[in-house]
Amino acid sequence: MNTPKPITKEYFIKRLADLYLKSGLAGFPKDETSLHILLKSAVVTFGKSDSFTEKEVNAKLETLVKDIGQMKGMDHVSLRRMLVDTGYLTRNGDGSSYRVSQPGPRPDMFDPTIDQLDIRKEIETAREEIARRKQEFLQNSKGG
């Protein structure tokens, strides 16, 4: 039986930029790989802390949805629920404390180096590259 190769860091970063900046994503991605990349990127932003309050989880996810990405029709509450439902986050019985699941629901799906990414930095780098290419295109179209 063939075991699929894990998603590489390079592919993850490329899809991350596509999902957050180019897709105009409205709701969660329909294809499984894109959905897991989105969810994995969300939990990577949490860092290595042991546990988080619901307020801390909401603040991190609000930043991700509003400030980092251009995701339409997605809110931090729906994202939090999806992270719990898919096993990326676990919460205690009363919902007051959350933990990032280790190694996560799909440990074989991702290259382990993805856990060390600075998601905010990767998205900002991609945003700058898109702006640079746009500027370059505009300059070339004026001169041509």
What are 31-89's pLDDT values in tens digits?
A: 899 999 999 999 999 987 789 999 999 999 998 888 676 666 778 999 999 999 999 99
Q: Is residue 4 part of a domain?
A: no
Q: How many domains does the chain have?
A: 1
pTM of the predicted protein model: 0.86
In order, the DSSP letters of 19-75 are IIIIS--BSS-SSHHHHHHHHHHHHHTTTT-S-EEHHHHHHHHHHIIIII---BT--
| CB 52, CB 98: distance < 8 Å | yes
What's the confidence (pLDDT) of residue 21?
82
Q: Is residue 3 part of a domain?
A: no
Residue with tokens 């995701």: 71
Instruction: Give residue 83's identity as a one-letter amino acid code.
Output: L
Q: Is residue 16 part of a domain?
A: yes
Range of the domain at 137: 9-143
Distance CA 91, CA 137 (A): 48
